[in-house]
Structure 1
Amino acid sequence: MTVTPADRARGIEPGAPVKVAASGGTVTDVVVTDDKGAKVPGTVKDGVWTPASRLGLDSAYSVRSVVTLADGRAQTATSSFRTLKPEATAKYTLLPSDDTVGVGMPAIVQFASSVKTPQQRAEVERSMKVTTEPAVEGSWGWLDDRQLMWRPKDYWKPGTKVTMDARLAGLQTGEGKYVGRNDTKTFTIGRSQVSTVDMKTHHLTVVRDGQQVKNIPVTTGKPGFITRSGTKVIMEKVGAMTMDSATVGIPKGNPEYYKLDTKWNMRITWTGEFLHAAPWSQWAQGRRNVSHGCTNMGLDDARWMFESSMVGDVVQFTGSDRPFKPTEGIGVWQYSWPQWQQQSALR
């Protein structure tokens, strides 16, 4: 009887099968137990035991193999092995963090570091599951090698319940780098709110559950700081913050440098675009574009927008020739449905 991994082997891959070969008999059972003696779920076929899910990292396991001889007698062998200890642990977060979100929010797996190869990204997808109530057609896709997102074909229907199940523990994402844990996340889709910013007419219209509820005069990016056109998603809300242009490449000493305390801020890109109150530009709102790329509103309008919005709400921008790149925010809606499906590593 020959067992692979060999007895006392170390550094074994967490997803590796246990293979038992027998001469003069038939392998009838293979049982794997952890260091506490608990049976590890798995299936046995033709002398190969395959784990139901990847084994733990840097963990010890015992194998009991049973071979039935031609005369009916059973012969048993025992062995042990230890899985590998990774050089680095791959960390990830399931998003959104909010329990109730807008109709544009995808289910997100955000890795802290890159998932290096197409094969590894495909294995990440195979290890993820999204369940929706009611059932919704959707697809996984990668924005880059750290961001995996699942979006429905069209915007979510209000009330949809979404559950993400990440069975990623033991998965390799780079040289010597493995995921250390599994996770789950559930969120619910709230009411529908889709806003449109027309940068040529300088107005923001808010449509909730199919009905226009607000029309707000705004100002957007001036020449040299043009606001991006495209379909964006509110990523976070911050009641008060200090905006320092040095964080977006406009340093102190530059004539365009600014450092301002702002209220009612709604982030829509990682590159510094927000919807927010800007009483200093109220003279231009509804008339001209004078901002550094943000969408400026008066204090009362911004407060109304802030209180009426949630993370995941859609904001569509039209009227500029500067496109919003998908990686600059939650850019899943910048793709048509066929294009988005092609972002999957399984295509």
Structure 2
Amino acid sequence: MYGVQQKTVTFKVGRNQVSVVDARTKTMKVTRDGKTVKTIPISAGGPDNKTYQGQMVISEKFKETRMDGSTVGFTKKDGKGEYDIKDVPHAMRLSNSGTFIHGNYWGAKSIFGAVNTSHGCVGLSDTKGAGDPNTPAAWFYNNTLIGDVVVVKNTGDKTVAPDNGLNGWNLGWAAWKAGSAA
């Protein structure tokens, strides 16, 4: 026979971390192995640009990255982006369409935990340059792995599509099976 092997493989499953973003309370509760390890004030999408709801998975991490509104449909009449921030700190991708959880140094510190102001991302207090390890965004970045789950709720927006990033968690079992080759 060709292509048949018998192999013993061992592996260790790492810690289980799920972070729940609640746009109503403007907080994110980080739970690891069943214990809450931190509650962080956040600012989610504002009334005109709500954050997707649902279970999302961290698919990429960038200590700093550029975010240009024109790449995700936020353009002014002149075609330029409503925003173009060249050094967004502690950015972690939640969707392929541009939803991130990231540091925010340009907003007033008073918005976090108080008001939702973003274009749809989840913002955490941070400093320019991503150099202060004591900010909420730095803590979350340093304590989060690619593959960790972030649940976003109470935004008033639709649930993120299962194929928009690593977000198949949002597809019901019947629909999952219906799309299966089995």
Q: TM-score, normalised by structure 1?
A: 0.45
2:137 is the counterpart of 1:302: yes
Matched with 2:130 is none
Once the two structures are superposed, the pairs formed by residues 132-147 of structure 1 within 5 Å of their partners are: none
Letter in 1 for 2:27: H
Match of 1:317, SS state, is strand
Specify the alignment match of 1:325 in structure 2: 161
1:288 Cα deviation after fit:
1.0
- For residues 133 and 236 of structure 1, the distance between their equivalents in structure 2, rounded to whole angstroms, comes to 27
Give the match for residue 337 of structure 1: 173
- Identity across the alignment (%): 35
Q: Distance in 1 between matches of 2:105 and 2:117?
A: 13
Residues 177-236 of structure 1: CA distance to partner in whole angstroms, max 9, x if unpaired?
xxxxxxxxxxx6421100100011100000001000010000111122110010000001
Question: In the aligned structure 2, how far is the partner of 1:191 from the partner of 1:323?
Answer: 26
Partner SS for 1:306: helix
SS of residue matched to 1:283: helix
How far does the alpha carbon of each residue in 1:37-57 deviate from its partner, in whole angstroms, 9 at most, with x for none?
xxxxx5xxxxxxxxx46xxxx
Unaligned runs of 5+ in 1: 1-41, 43-51, 54-130, 135-160, 162-187
Partner of 1:19: none
**Which residue does the alignment assign to 1:192?**
16
CA 1:290–1:318: 2 relative to 1, 3 Å: same
CA distance in 2 between counterparts of 1:200 and 1:251 reads 27
1:247-266 equivalences under 5 Å are 247-252=71-76, 253=78, 257-260=82-85, 261-266=87-92
Separation in 2, partners of 1:303, 1:193: 16
CA distance in 2, matches of 1:324, 1:275: 14
- Indicate the SS of the match to 1:296: strand
Alignment of 1:12-27 (within 5 A): none
User: What secondary structure does 2:106 align onto?
Assistant: helix
Q: Secondary structure at the match of 1:339?
A: helix
Matched, 1:278 2:104: yes
**Residue identity in the other structure for 1:200:** R
- For CA contacts below 8 A with separation 6 or more, give which structure has more relative contact order: 2
Which residue is equivalent to 1:215? 39
Note closer, same or farther for the CA distance 1:201–1:189 as it changes in structure 2 (3 Å cut). same
Q: How does 1:154-233 map to 2 (within 5 A)?
A: 161=11, 189-233=13-57
1:132 and 1:312 mapped to 2: Cα distance?
Answer: 25
User: How far apart, in 2, do the equivalents of 1:307 and 1:210 lie?
Assistant: 19
Distance (whole Å) between structure 2 residues aligned to residue 192 and residue 232 of structure 1: 14
The number of residue pairs the alignment matches comes to: 167
Tell me which amino acid in the other structure corresponds to 2:112.
Q
Task: Give the structure with higher Rg (CA).
Answer: 1
More strand by share: 1
User: What secondary structure is seen at the aligned counterpart in 1 of 2:70?
Assistant: helix
Q: TM-score, normalised by structure 2?
A: 0.83
CA RMSD of aligned residues (A): 2.2
- The gaps in structure 2 that reach 5 residues or longer are 127-134
